[in-house]
Amino acid sequence: MNKRNEWTFDNHFHSPPSKILIIEDDLDTSALLFHTLTEEGYTADQVFDGEKGLEAIQEKKYDLILLDLMMPLIDGFDLCQKVKSNEKMKSVPILILTAKDDYNAKIRGFQVGADDYITKPFVIGELLARIRAHLRIQELKHDLTVSENRYRQIIDHSPDAILVLSNNKEVLFSNKRLIEIIEETSEESIAGKNIAELTSISPIFQEVFDSINRVESQKTHIQNEICLNSSSIGETTQKTFFELFCLPITNEYSQIETFQVIIRDVTQRKKVEDAFIQAEKIHSLGILTAGIAHEINNPLTGISNAIQIIKKCELPSERQAEICEHVLSNINRIAKIVKELTTFSRPYGGISEVFNIIEAISDTLTLSRYQSGSEKIKFCWSPPSTPIYLSGNRNKFQQVIINLLVNAVQATAPNGVITVEASEEAKVLTVSIADTGCGIPPNQLKKIFDPFFTTKRDWKGTGLGLAVSYRIIQLFNGTINVESTLGKGSKFTIKIPAYHLTTKNE
């Protein structure tokens, strides 16, 4: 039946001839039909009453049935109804043979499920044309089922969970992986239900619900990462990370018809990414260490000297108070450095918070002043007077700023300038870090965000700073871009879209 040359599941190159069953009690008509069909290359079987016809259909798979209406025992109408109400047999097309002007018979024939009719006495050409047309329809139906099954299999075996929702947010389709992830037994438990109803089944649906609402109001796709505490092994709870991708499918009038949701388990990738981020953090802390050590050493020397003076000499109480004041201010200096360091270096976890990016940038700038070479560079930072709040992981955001600042300091010669700017416009946050450093050659611009790409020798660079920064900004649904002129300087610009910006509820 399938004569196409392309690959199908039941890939066959030479289809056997189509099998046609003739159910006709008039011997002459039956013989004529049989002769015509076999001459045309079809395989035909003949039976002469309805009962035998039914037996034959149950025993053998036919591609088409020619059915006379007026027959003894079971007539054509009854037989047609029986075949069409049987799940297994109903797909086979039935062409009824009717007398020329018997309109009532034709109408009844269609009512009981017949696919077409041939008027007796029939014209051979018309008979064959109708048979061919029905066999072709069958062939197309078959191809469609094969193709549907093929895509269904691919989708079902996809490692990603797939969910399709109607514009009313009711489940139209879900694949097996989704059922596994939400730990349900069958698709029936979610089929046709509204996503709002499903939020109690799994926390994943709560996330899908929130994301779909955002997709609906913004009419654009969104991607975010979610963390779930899944199974507990011993004392520790295993965290599973998913990437959620929600996409609106619109019609020609830009109205949303369906929502597509793809949920990907990214736990393993996340572990590797976190290891990269950690490695880069340790590296940048390493770069800052010498400056930090120096910065702590100065007040420590001051404290040590003061203590020795107090120990050795009998001092008047006024002088003693003055020295104690000096000790305290030095201790405060050290405490400040330690505070700056801990906010930056505490473990990431999955903590998401609402933070003021102006403060985060100011703290990071203070830290970056410890980097060797930075003392001869002018930093320009005019923080906007109103806070800009961002929701997400503050630490990771600071990691990006430090990575960009470390690079800028490394690229900039003494007396150069590093300008940091932050603003919010039309609910988009923009942060830029520009330097007057060496710039980036055009042929390297495409590579700088690749992991392990570095032009720094002697282990001064890991090549992970920008790759990690790119990924972190992606997690904020933002972008990071660079403009650079060789010999003049570079400017990195981060943009984070509206929905991460939030007003603090205080």
Ligand X SMILES: Nc1ncnc2c1ncn2[C@@H]1O[C@H](COP(=O)(O)OP(=O)(O)O)[C@@H](O)[C@H]1O
Residue 75 · residue 105 · CB < 8 Å: no
Query: Least distance (Å) from ligand X to the CB of residue 488?
Result: 11
| 221: contact with ligand X by CB under 6 A | no
Binding site for Mg ion (CB under 5 A): 407, 465
Query: Least distance (Å) from ligand X to the CB of residue 217?
Result: 36
Residue 123 · residue 88 · CB < 8 Å: no
**Residue closer to ligand X (CB basis): 23 or 411:** 411
Q: How far apart are CA 378 and CA 432, in angstroms?
A: 16
Q: Which residues of 33-63 are buried (b: 16+ CB within 10 A; e: fewer)?
A: bbebbeebebebbbbbbbeebbebbeeeebb
- The 11-50 contact track toward ligand X, x by CB under 6 A, reads ----------------------------------------
Burial of residue 401, with CB atoms counted within 10 A of its CB: 0-12 exposed, 13-18 middle, 19 or more buried: buried
Among 453, 477, 495, 501, binds ligand X (CB under 6 A): 453
**Residue closer to Mg ion (CB basis): 98 or 284:** 284
Query: Least distance (Å) from ligand X to the CB of residue 291?
Result: 17
Burial of residue 415, with CB atoms counted within 10 A of its CB: 0-12 exposed, 13-18 middle, 19 or more buried: exposed
| 416: contact with ligand X by CB under 6 A | no
Among 18, 465, 476, 494, binds ligand X (CB under 6 A): 465
Stretch that binds ligand X, among 89-97, 310-318, 356-364, 434-442 (CB under 6 A): 434-442
Q: Which does 284 bind (CB under 5 to 8 A by kind): ligand X, Mg ion, none?
A: none
Strand partners, 232: 237
Residue 368 · residue 288 · CB < 8 Å: yes
Question: C-alpha dihedral over 142, 144, 150, 153, to 10 degrees?
Answer: -100
Q: Three-class SS of residue 346?
A: coil
Stretch that binds ligand X, among 204-212, 247-255, 372-380, 402-410 (CB under 6 A): 402-410
Counting residues that bind ligand X (by CB under 6 A) gives 21
| 418: contact with ligand X by CB under 6 A | no
**Residue closer to ligand X (CB basis): 158 or 432:** 432
Amino acid identity at 460? K
Residues in the site for ligand X, rule: CB under 6 A? 403, 407-408, 411, 435, 437-438, 440, 448, 453-456, 461-467, 490
